[in-house]
A and B are shown apart, each in its own frame.
Chain A
């Protein structure tokens, strides 16, 4: 044969974005819409919201993910109950820093992409595949990021149980251009992340024992203290707000799935440890 036969294509590859596209939904313009709204609001005098400090740390049983609740626009506090942790599937949480309008749209796309893949292909998408999906979305958002609007810098935390194997907790972080990195022990993102990262580095190396050996209650206390540290120097981050009784969001991901740490438990930890 002169020409190699063309590669056969998957008749159905489980890609939800192409299904959406066939039904008239394009990701990039939708993200652009969200970002344009952000820019418009910002132009009117600073009432566009941005998210702030989120972190993910590997510990003994899996991964802890935490985020403060404050959304800011310039020097204004817009909202004190923002939810920056979004459950994507039974074992994955997306922690977002950046423009919530864009980040929520990405989370929505991801959540359905993973569900769709699992149900249509009858197997769980691999962790690497999931990580790549988010990277692709960030790349779709590239033009906006370069314009300086609609930037999203997420952390993807997951516990690898796909297709029967126990791969343990994983933390991935991204830059705004879509490059992905695996965080060895921890990761933090947002305006308050600088101080958080410094403290995490200190704790991990000289804190008595590495973070990976922390128990659940120890890691929760550490996360609350870290958010408090971030809030101390970063006005865009809130720690615990005693006046209106608002707590950060804290979740753990273990082999059995995602667990939300209740406000009662957080209150207890605050009272005794922070």
Chain B
């Protein structure tokens, strides 16, 4: 039946709806610049969501854990083969996404007889200076956007719904402030932005269809509420790190110290 063009379009639309429904409740991810690089933060129940891909490339995702893992390994394999065959500096986020990850996702998405990847990915690459940092958002269907690189402040968010992402970006733009912020300040801002996203997604779930005037979200309160059952996960790409690998997973005590008076 899917040989007919109309059926195919229908099948794809169903697929989209199914995947988006699966992603709705995913824990948002915040990517934020700070004085010494880029910070990635999310709040997770158990499984890890933020990973190192290569010396200067970090990966984070929401979706099905097995699909996250598969895409993570695709990225790591590609990066290491390239870094080995050519040179470490030839591994670039743009090439990883354009010629590797995006085609893989698109291919899986359009094979209507097999399972698609239920995953949304946010990738960051640390440049030699802030002007050369780059961020890419990659969707389950392989479409991607290099986001906000032209902006003076590189930051981005990833969430289960478009509305949650919009609320988070609005919050960031409103409270953004100083791009030379310290890591502690960045952690606090990222945590609050995360709470705005999570809260928005949950409210959307509750009101489903009803048109209620949106109540203003108290980010700090929402954050504390969620932290009862989850823990904060954060990693940085640090420009001043002496090793060739710039990725560092933040330790729990570091995060706790920064967020204690939130």
Among B51, B54, B81: residue with most chain A CB under 10 A = B81
Residues of B with C-beta under 8 A to A12: 73
A130 → B minimal CB distance (Å)? 16
**Known A-B contacts A25-B85, A120-B73; A115 and B243 likewise in contact (beta carbons under 8 Å):** no
**Known A-B contacts A90-B243, A119-B52, A119-B53; A20 and B84 likewise in contact (beta carbons under 8 Å):** yes
Cα–Cα, bound, A12→B72 (Å): 12
Q: 1/0 per residue A106-129: CB within 8 Å of B?
A: 001100100110011010000000
Q: Is B15 an interface residue (CB 8 A)?
A: no
Q: Is the CB of B77 within 8 A of A19?
A: yes
Residues of A with C-beta under 8 A to B77: 19, 120
Q: 1/0 per residue B60-78: CB within 8 Å of A?
A: 0000000000000100110
Cα–Cα, bound, A16→B83 (Å): 12
B67 → A minimal CB distance (Å)? 14
Q: Is the CB of A23 within 8 A of B243?
A: no
A9 → B minimal CB distance (Å)? 15
Residues of A with C-beta under 8 A to B84: 16, 20, 25, 108-109, 112
Cα–Cα, bound, A122→B73 (Å): 11
Q: Is the CB of A19 within 8 A of B243?
A: no
Cα–Cα, bound, A97→B54 (Å): 30
Cα–Cα, bound, A90→B53 (Å): 17
Q: Is the CB of A119 within 8 A of B51?
A: yes
Q: Is the CB of A116 within 8 A of B85?
A: no
How many residues from B make CB contacts under 8 Å with A? 16
Cα–Cα, bound, A16→B51 (Å): 18
Q: Is the CB of A19 within 8 A of B80?
A: yes
Among B52, B84, B242: residue with most chain A CB under 10 A = B84
Q: Is B25 an interface residue (CB 8 A)?
A: no
Residues of A with C-beta under 8 A to B243: 90, 257
Q: Is B245 an interface residue (CB 8 A)?
A: yes
Cα–Cα, bound, A16→B76 (Å): 11
Q: Is the CB of A16 within 8 A of B48?
A: no
Residues of A with C-beta under 8 A to B76: 116, 119-120
Q: 1/0 per residue A128-164: CB within 8 Å of B?
A: 0000000000000000000000000000000000000
Closest residue on chain B to residue A16 by CB atoms: B80
Cα–Cα, bound, A119→B81 (Å): 13
Contact residue among A25, A112, A257 (Cβ-Cβ distance under 8 Å from B83)? A112
Q: Is the CB of A112 within 8 A of B73?
A: no
Residues of B with C-beta under 8 A to A116: 76, 80
Closest residue on chain B to residue A118 by CB atoms: B52
Q: Is the CB of B81 within 8 A of A20?
A: yes
A128 → B minimal CB distance (Å)? 22
Chain B, range 26-80, C-beta contacts under 8 Å to A: 48, 51-54, 73, 76-77, 80
Cα–Cα, bound, A23→B85 (Å): 10
Cα–Cα, bound, A115→B79 (Å): 11
Closest residue on chain A to residue B59 by CB atoms: A119
Residues of B with C-beta under 8 A to A19: 77, 80-81
Residues of A with C-beta under 8 A to B53: 119
Q: Is the CB of B48 within 8 A of A112?
A: no
Chain A, range 23-52, C-beta contacts under 8 Å to B: 23, 25
Cα–Cα, bound, A257→B245 (Å): 13
Cα–Cα, bound, A20→B83 (Å): 12
Q: 1/0 per residue B80-96: CB within 8 Å of A?
A: 11011100000000000
Contact residue among B52, B80, B242, B245 (Cβ-Cβ distance under 8 Å from A112)? B80
With contacts A20-B81, A119-B76, A120-B76 known, what are 7 further pairs, Cβ within 8 A?
A16-B80, A19-B80, A20-B84, A25-B84, A108-B84, A115-B80, A119-B54
Interface of B toward A, CB cutoff 8 Å = 48, 51-54, 73, 76-77, 80-81, 83-85, 242-243, 245
Would you mind naming 16 contact pairs between A and B with Cβ atoms under 8 Å apart? Answer: A16-B80, A16-B84, A19-B77, A20-B84, A25-B84, A25-B85, A90-B245, A109-B84, A112-B80, A112-B83, A115-B80, A116-B80, A119-B51, A119-B52, A119-B53, A122-B51
The 6 closest A-B pairs by CB, nearest first: A112-B84, A116-B80, A120-B76, A119-B76, A119-B52, A90-B243
